[in-house]
């Protein structure tokens, strides 16, 4: 239904949806999964047993996605706007689920990007729960000062993150 001339806008919105997801991923992990009582218990179960299948049922996440995201976007900006942005958001979410599964179930080659993602999430699990809330990237942790860096040289501070020696 969207005219061809509008496709570039749909593509931009799709990528904006992916970026928006990374921010929501950070906020959800920091302020919902670790703070809201019953949800925190579910997340604690994941922290205790990292390979267990602990998930939100689709009958909860699906309607929440439609009611909290798609409907207001549709109401505010129309069908093409809502679906383009929401599709990018959903893509970001599925990417997050995939990365989070892989960091807990697959080995990583040292020096690879996947190794860096796996290590930063391991620091969240094993060193402090007050940092490295982003799973697919560390961008928002750096923006909000919650980025935790591994200690490479105990005598030198890490300029862009807190030292593990301080914990
Ligand atoms: Zn995890
Ligand atoms: Zn956590």
Looking at residue 19, its pLDDT comes to 97
Distance (angstroms) between ligand 1 centre and the Cα of 61 equals 19
Distance (angstroms) between ligand 1 centre and the Cα of 47 equals 7
Looking at residue 2, its pLDDT comes to 74
Looking at residue 128, its pLDDT comes to 87
Distance (angstroms) between ligand 1 centre and the Cα of 50 equals 6
Looking at residue 50, its pLDDT comes to 86
Distance (angstroms) between ligand 2 centre and the Cα of 165 equals 21
The partner residues of 162 in beta bridges, in order of sequence, read 148
DSSP state at residue 165:
G
Distance (angstroms) between ligand 2 centre and the Cα of 148 equals 13
Looking at residue 35, its pLDDT comes to 94
Q: Where are the alpha helices (DSSP H) in the chain?
A: 7-27, 37-48, 58-65, 71-77, 79-105, 113-126, 139-144
pTM: 0.84
The total number of residues shown for the chain amounts to: 167
Looking at residue 101, its pLDDT comes to 95
Looking at residue 154, its pLDDT comes to 52
Q: Which ligand places an atom closest to the C-alpha of 104?
A: 1
Distance (angstroms) between ligand 2 centre and the Cα of 108 equals 20
The whole-angstrom separation of Cα 143 and Cα 161 is 11
Query: Are 131 and 116 within 8 A, CB to CB?
Result: no
Tens digits of pLDDT across the chain (167 residues)? 777 778 889 999 999 999 999 999 999 999 999 999 988 999 999 999 888 888 788 898 889 889 999 999 999 988 889 999 999 999 999 999 999 999 999 999 999 999 999 999 999 999 888 999 999 999 999 999 999 988 776 555 444 555 554 44
Looking at residue 134, its pLDDT comes to 97
Distance (angstroms) between ligand 1 centre and the Cα of 17 equals 23
Give the closest residue to 25 by CA, choosing from 134, 148, 137, 147: 134
Query: Are 132 and 138 within 8 A, CB to CB?
Result: yes
The whole-angstrom separation of Cα 74 and Cα 158 is 45
Looking at residue 67, its pLDDT comes to 93
Spatial CB neighbours of 27, under 8 Å, sequence gap ≥ 6: none
Q: Which residue has the tokens 């949806």?
A: 17
Q: Which ligand places an atom closest to the C-alpha of 32?
A: 2
């Amino acid at each position: 239904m969207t005219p061809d001339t509008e496709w570039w806008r749909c593509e931009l919105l799709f990528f904006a949806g992916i970026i928006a997801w990374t921010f929501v991923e950070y906020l959800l992990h920091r302020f919902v999964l670790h703070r809201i009582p019953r949800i925190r218990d579910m997340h604690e179960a994941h922290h205790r047993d990292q390979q267990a299948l602990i998930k939100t049922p689709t009958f909860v996440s699906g309607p929440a996605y439609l009611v909290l995201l798609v409907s207001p976007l549709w109401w505010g900006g129309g069908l093409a706007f809502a679906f383009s942005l929401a599709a990018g958001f959903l893509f970001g979410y599925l990417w997050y689920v995939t990365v989070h599964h892989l960091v807990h179930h697959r080995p990583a080659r040292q020096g690879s990007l996947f190794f860096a993602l796996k290590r930063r999430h391991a620091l969240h699990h094993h060193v402090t729960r007050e940092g490295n809330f982003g799973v697919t990237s560390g961008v928002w942790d750096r923006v909000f000062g919650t980025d935790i860096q591994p200690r490479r040289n105990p005598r030198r501070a890490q300029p862009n993150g807190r030292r593990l020696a301080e914990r």
